[in-house]
Structure 1
Amino acid sequence: MAGGLFALLDDVAVLAKAAAASVDDVAAASGRASAKAAGVIVDDTAVTPRYVQGLEPARELPIIKKIAIGSLRNKLLFILPAALLLSQFLPWALTPLLMLGGTYLCFEGVEKIWERVSGHAEGAADQAHEEGKVANEDDITSSAIRTDFILSAEIMVISLNEVASEPFVSRAVILALVAVGITVLVYGVVGLIVKMDDVGLHLSQRESGFARTVGNGLVKGMPGLLSTLSVVGVAAMIWVGGHILLVGFDELGFTAPYDLVHHAEVAVKDATGALGGILGWITNTIGSALLGLIVGAIVVAVVSVFHRSKGTETETEAAASH
């Protein structure tokens, strides 16, 4: 009897060790999957603060909370099931879909550069200001969640590619952990960023000279930080989108762009010794960004021509109606 009990305890111990190892494997895979999507995570973190710029401070965190809930809902209820079904039944479709999202990121990044260079963004903002238009919180939230949906889809599909060889249930658990973990990370950092000026203002009113110095530094530095994040966000869109396209083209058999960038990366690594890893990565990033700029510029040009043609048709129809 005692022998049977000890055997049972041994079996339980073996199962417990197996379960612990499985948990460790899932956690490690979740970490690898999240790391692969780091570029898009930076992009998501850099893009979101602009949606609450100019709002009442008391409304900043509630709106970020709404965006975070919408982001998590998108990931868990829509993107995760779709990604799992595709990986199970149509795995060949993942690369084209990922490239479609990468093209959108390139387009959005280049469009923002074009708006800044051409002055269209400032003109639209001035017109809205003159007309007394105030952004509605629901509109802000909806716009942010739409942009986040694209970025979230990229994060989930990139993560899925990293764990595609795992069993179906493990894939589901890993992606769910990635979805929750990344959402908490991104919007926790975003909330910290947008409230940093309030923290600085509070510190600037303290009696301690050191606290006042830190507080004044935060208040003065936040506009520059937000501007820097805006630039980083645009750069990350183009770089991440270009890299997705670079790898996607290679997987689909069009290997020339990937080979060119890869050979340049290897040459830089071999020529720079101890700094080879960093400089090689920078080379790869520059190559990806150049591809992203080219593709984004092409899409922006096509969209601009389409909008102009639609505008011309509208004006023609209006003239004919008179």
Structure 2
Amino acid sequence: MASGLLALLDDVAALVKVSAASLDDVPTQVAKTTGKVSGIVIDDTAVTPKYVVGLDPKRELSIIFQIAKKSIINKVIFLGPAALLLGYFAPAVIPYLLMVGGAYLCFEGYEKVHSIFSKSAHGTEEQSAGDMDVITPEELEKKRVGSAVRTDFILSSEIMAIAYSTVNESPLVTQIVVLFTVAIFITVAVYGFVAIIVKADDIGIHMTKEKFGPTTRKIGRGIVKSMPGFLVILGYVGTAAMLWVGAEIIAHGIPFFHHSIEALEHSLSNIPFLAWVVKVVVLALGGVVLGAVIAQVITLGKKLFKRPAEKTA
């Protein structure tokens, strides 16, 4: 009986050692995963500030907190477990889901590029008509939060799927810890930075008060003046990141494109930074093309499947 108990304790000790060894690798896996999803993180950070534009400044942080809270819930309660279950029962499905998400990112990126360059009168008329809608501040806030959460859900799905693909060959304990660490770390980092961006104007204005020295006041005025331009640039960076990441996800799932990208990088391997820039530019342009194709297919589908009443209207 004593020998049986000792054997059981030896098994438990061995299990603890294996778990500890796998957990030692968690920081490396988290860092690796965070690097892979950096494009999506940049896009998420760039997109979110627009949801508080035009709302009561006193409600800005509350709105950001609402979005962040729902983002963590989606990642931890729904998306993380879903990734683990799919990885266990149907791992072959994950690459295809990633590609669908990548296609969506390309489509969204193309729509943003199109809206930047399109200055048609039709678009102006639609904007004017939309501006005339009557809506209470509470309804507008609820609408904005809902829209932000939907966008975040799609981006979070990509983040968790990529995170799982990074650790799918690791022990289950490592998979669980990495997924939930990435979920919390990225959410806190993204929405913490968004909160700073959103309140940067207020911080700058506060720094311009007479109680501060000339240097501090000058920095404050600089922050206030630079924020509009910074937000515009951040929007462009987010759009580029969306196209780049979406196209890279799809290219990774198609051997011909994956090998072509690798060959391109290899041809410029002597200049690593140039190789990275060329790769990003090629993928972003490819994302625009794919997004345009998807947009045309959607437009054609809407025309083909219009209801008879809509066709005659």
TM-score, normalization by structure 1 = 0.85
Q: CA–CA distance in 1 between the matches of 2:295 and 2:164?
A: 29
Residue 212 of structure 1 is matched in structure 2 by 217
Q: CA–CA distance in 2 between the matches of 1:113 and 1:237?
A: 11
Residue 262 of structure 1 is matched in structure 2 by 262
1:136 is displaced (CA, Å) by 1.4
Matched AA of 1:196 = A
Residue 236 of structure 1 is matched in structure 2 by 241
**CA 311–200 in structure 1, closer or farther in 2 if over 3 Å, else same:** farther
Residue 196 of structure 1 is matched in structure 2 by 200
Residue 157 of structure 1 is matched in structure 2 by 161
Q: Residue 222 of structure 1: which of 221, 227, 247 is its match?
A: 227
Contact map agreement 1:106 1:241 (CA 8 A) in 2: yes
1:308 is displaced (CA, Å) by 4.4
Q: CA–CA distance in 1 between the matches of 2:311 and 2:166?
A: 52
Residue 126 of structure 1 is matched in structure 2 by 128
1:305 is displaced (CA, Å) by 2.7
Residue 296 of structure 1 is matched in structure 2 by 291
CA RMSD of aligned residues (A): 2.4
Q: Does 1:246 align with 2:251?
A: yes
- Per mean C-alpha deviation after superposition, the further-off stretch among 175-184 and 206-215 is 206-215
Identity %: 42
Residue 47 of structure 2 is matched in structure 1 by 47
Q: CA–CA distance in 2 between the matches of 1:314 and 1:235?
A: 40
Contact map agreement 1:156 1:179 (CA 8 A) in 2: yes
Tell which has more relative contact order, 1 or 2 (C-alpha 8 A, sep 6+).
Answer: 2
Matched AA of 1:242 = A
Q: CA–CA distance in 2 between the matches of 1:13 and 1:315?
A: 70
Contact map agreement 1:199 1:215 (CA 8 A) in 2: yes
Matched AA of 1:186 = V
Matched AA of 1:211 = T
Matched AA of 2:150 = R
Deviations 1:69-111 (A, max 9, x none): 1111110111111100111111110100000000000000101
**CA 116–309 in structure 1, closer or farther in 2 if over 3 Å, else same:** farther
Matched AA of 1:136 = L
Deviations 1:237-293 (A, max 9, x none): 11110000110112xxxx1x22322222211224xxxxx111111121122112211
Q: Does 1:38 align with 2:38?
A: yes
1:112 is displaced (CA, Å) by 1.5
Q: CA–CA distance in 1 between the matches of 2:134 and 2:80?
A: 41
Unpaired runs of 5+ in structure 1? 1-11, 271-275
**CA 109–314 in structure 1, closer or farther in 2 if over 3 Å, else same:** farther
Q: CA–CA distance in 2 between the matches of 1:183 and 1:121?
A: 34
Residue 3 of structure 1 is matched in structure 2 by none
Q: Residue 175 of structure 2: which of 171, 174, 179 is its match?
A: 171
Residue 105 of structure 1 is matched in structure 2 by 105
1:317 is displaced (CA, Å) by 4.5
Q: CA–CA distance in 2 between the matches of 1:129 and 1:62?
A: 25
Unpaired runs of 5+ in structure 2? 1-11
